[in-house]
């Protein structure tokens, strides 16, 4: 069996009508509502969405860790179980420990021995910059160090597909930077990478393509620049007592208006155009600030017309 599957014409990843609900005392939670995702081999894709969007549920299903209610999953033309057994998929998940009685090098050796064509342990140690940890017991690692080890474990099978669920959550700024550098180095070997994040900046900086999820659905899918333009909404704030809100909302480039006391908040599709329209129409406007809308806010706007209820 070969794991050099990235060269073949099959899509790296194909999810079709994938669906999952959970039971809860308040009734069913529709975590993933019939999503379709195809990722070509070699792409780096971010699954971006706020908490509860369904990212982890999707990832757990595609790794074969959670049964789906409906839909199909293909990884390099195989089922998740086949692909994982073949060493074609490496993962770093949001939860799950690496507690064992071994030191880091011994654990990596042990994990490597489970796969048909693993990377040499030393190569993974170098790639993930954990030279300082190899002699340590895995029980004696800090949270950030454990993250680095989990990343190394994800790479050891030399997977064609690397799946990362919020990989940088426990990391400080420097660890994050190093992590993404390593991820890019690995991706540059022709690997397919799918990572979940709720940081627009991470998705923008490190993915070729962003799939935006909210309420278990895909609400946008495209190159980072395109998604950024969609969610990177801007806001103009100004002090403008007694302003005519209807007239403000009608300004070119403004999508919607809110007030805070004497202040107005204009959500804009085009803040440059809105600002040019605002000043002549409302010369009394002062304390003007233009800022990027927060991701949560942008999600709310984007998903406002996505029904909460099931299909």
Ligand X SMILES: Nc1ncnc2c1ncn2[C@@H]1O[C@H](COP(=O)(O)OP(=O)(O)O)[C@@H](O)[C@H]1O
Residue 29 binding: pick among Mg ion, ligand X, none (C-beta 5-8 Å cut-off by kind): ligand X
**95/173 with CB nearer Mg ion:** 95
Binding of Mg ion at residue 197 (CB under 5 A)?
Answer: no
- Whichever of 55 and 176 has its CB closer to Mg ion, that residue is 55
Closer residue to ligand X in complex, CB, 247/300: 300
Is 174:119 a contact under the CB 8 Å cutoff? no
Under DSSP, the state recorded for 64 is: T
Closer of 51 and 309 to ligand X (Cβ): 51
Nearer Cβ to ligand X (22/142) = 22
Task: Report the C-alpha gap between 206 and 260 in whole angstroms.
Answer: 37
Task: State the binding string over 12-51 for Mg ion (x if CB under 5 A, else -).
Answer: ----------------------------------------
Least distance CB 145 / ligand X (angstroms): 24
Other Cβ atoms within 10 Å of 172 Cβ, number = 10
Tokens at 268, concatenated: 């804009």
Spatial distance between the Cα atoms of 265 and 263, rounded to a whole number of angstroms: 7
Least separation in angstroms between CB 165 and Mg ion: 6
For the bound state, the minimum distance from the C-beta of residue 107 to Mg ion, rounded and expressed in Å, comes to 25
Tokens of 275: 């600002």
- For the chain, the distance separating the N- and C-terminal CA atoms, rounded to the nearest angstrom, is 41
Structure tokens at 78: 């195989």
- From residue 54 to residue 83, the character string flagging contacts with Mg ion as x (rule: CB under 5 A) and all else as - is -xx---------------------------
Q: In the β-sheet with 217-223, what is the strand arrangement from edge to edge?
A: 89-92, 161-165, 192-197, 44-48, 209-214, 217-223
19 binds, among ligand X, Mg ion, none (CB under 5 to 8 A by kind): none
């Amino acid at each position: 069996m070969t794991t050099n599957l990235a060269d073949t014409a099959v899509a790296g990843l194909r999810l079709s009508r994938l669906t999952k609900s959970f039971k809860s005392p308040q009734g069913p939670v529709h975590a993933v509502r019939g999503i379709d995702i195809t990722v070509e081999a070699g792409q780096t894709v971010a699954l971006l969405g706020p908490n509860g969007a369904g990212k982890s549920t999707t990832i757990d299903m595609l790794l074969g860790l959670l049964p789906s209610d409906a839909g199909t999953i293909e990884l390099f033309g195989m089922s998740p179980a086949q692909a994982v057994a073949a060493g074609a998929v490496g993962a770093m998940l949001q939860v799950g420990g690496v507690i064992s009685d071994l030191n880091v090098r011994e654990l990596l050796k042990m994990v490597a021995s489970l796969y048909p064509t693993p990377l040499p342990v030393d190569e993974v140690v170098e790639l993930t910059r954990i030279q300082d940890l190899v002699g340590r017991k895995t029980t004696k690692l800090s949270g950030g160090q454990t993250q680095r080890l989990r990343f190394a474990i994800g790479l050891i099978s030399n997977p064609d597909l690397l799946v990362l669920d919020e990989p940088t959550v426990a990391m400080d700024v420097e660890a994050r930077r190093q992590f993404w550098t390593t991820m890019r180095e690995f991706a540059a070997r022709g690997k397919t990478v799918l990572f979940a994040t709720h940081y627009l900046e991470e998705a923008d900086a490190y993915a070729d393509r962003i799939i935006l999820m909210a309420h278990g659905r895909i609400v946008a899918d495209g190159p980072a620049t395109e998604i950024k333009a969609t969610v990177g909404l801007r806001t103009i704030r100004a002090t403008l007592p007694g302003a005519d809100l209807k007239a403000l909302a009608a300004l070119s480039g403004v999508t919607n208006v809110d007030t805070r006391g004497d202040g107005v908040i204009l959500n804009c599709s085009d803040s440059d155009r809105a600002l040019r329209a605002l000043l002549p129409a409302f010369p009394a406007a002062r304390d003007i600030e233009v800022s990027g809308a927060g991701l949560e806010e942008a999600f709310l706007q984007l998903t406002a017309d996505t029904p909460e209820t099931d299909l």
